[in-house]
Structure 1
Amino acid sequence: MSQYNLDCIDLSASRTELHDLLSLTGAEISCNNLPAGVSVPFVHAHKHNEEVYLVLEGEGRLYVDGKELPLKEGSCFRVDPGAERCISASADKGIRFLCIQVKAGSLDAFTMNDAVLSDKKPSWL
């Protein structure tokens, strides 16, 4: 079995989930596009998973636990599992964002604590 998956998605699709495409085992990642004036059609929370969002382009609003906050290109935020959330594109500009969903409290190590350097080199190093 291969130790990696490589694929390509249509960045203009309304929503693409990478779970099945990349055989993810520790996270759910989706790329989302909402046209101007369009909203995710429901408010939701999760049982176990926190969500991290990164706005790649456009503008919109985040609803979280009764508050409405502005979003713009570069906005990033994390939402606790139990927080109720929804996203909307602005009236005159669409919004493209990534959503990364992981089990809250499951991260044991991150890049500097988990990385193992190799002596092998790709052609560009």
Structure 2
Amino acid sequence: MKKVEKIAENQNYTAVNVGSWEDIKDHSLIHAKLGTEIKGKVFVKDPTRASGTEISFTSLPPKSELGYFHIHYKDEETYIILKGSGFYQVDDDCFPIQAGSVIRVAPAGVRSLCNTSDEEMVYICIQAKESSLEEYTTKDGERVPFTPKWK
């Protein structure tokens, strides 16, 4: 089982490495509610000490499906397909997805996906409390003078 590696950390950040997209299939975890092993999935909230999002990376084998539908009570999810293709279903709507597809699902949306391609599907899922983003991009921040250490 592959482990998340800590790269660096101080009070203002935590940097980790989950490996390349091909390495995601080597991760596994024990599902918190079911107590069963899930292969090809890694969560990074705890390793990065995140307080506002949960981010996971998942590898789905060729010609397979997630195997369950689910909802959330408070959190919306955004799925970013990095590799592979297939279908995503929310409630009664089913639509094609491929590398580059981005899908946001409200908490109450009943959701799942499948990989119909001959290659593994790799995707990122970002989970955050619905309507919690108050400011974003250039509105939440300002430029500050700083000297880069990489020069």
- In the alignment, what sits opposite 1:7? 16
Match for 2:84 among 39, 58, 71?
58
What is the distance in 1 between the residues matched to 2:139 and 2:150? 25
Contact 1:60/1:94 (8 A) holds in 2: no
Instruction: Give the number of aligned pairs.
Output: 125
Residue by residue over 1:26-63, the C-alpha shift from the partner in whole angstroms, topping out at 9 and shown as x without a partner, is 00000111010121121001000000111111111101
**Deviation at 1:91?**
4.7
**Deviation at 1:87?**
1.2
- In the alignment, what sits opposite 1:108? 134
SS in 2 for 1:6: strand
Q: Identity, % of aligned pairs?
A: 29
Stretch moving more, 87-96 or 50-59: 87-96
User: Relative contact order: is structure 1 or structure 2 higher (C-alpha 8 Å, sep ≥ 6)?
Assistant: 1
TM value normalised by structure 1? 0.93
Which 4+ runs in 1 deviate beyond 4 A?
A: none
Amino acid across the alignment from 1:105: S
Q: Extract unaligned runs of 5+ from structure 2.
A: 1-9, 25-39
What is the distance in 1 between the residues matched to 2:77 and 2:134? 17
What is the distance in 2 between the residues matched to 1:121 and 1:50? 37
- In the alignment, what sits opposite 2:116? 90
Contact 1:39/1:88 (8 A) holds in 2: yes
- In the alignment, what sits opposite 1:118? 144
Q: State the superposition RMSD in angstroms.
A: 1.4
Amino acid across the alignment from 2:122: R
Greater percentage in strand: 2
- In the alignment, what sits opposite 2:4? none
Whether 1:25 and 2:51 are equivalent positions in the alignment is yes
Amino acid across the alignment from 2:67: P
Whether 1:75 and 2:101 are equivalent positions in the alignment is yes
TM value normalised by structure 2? 0.78
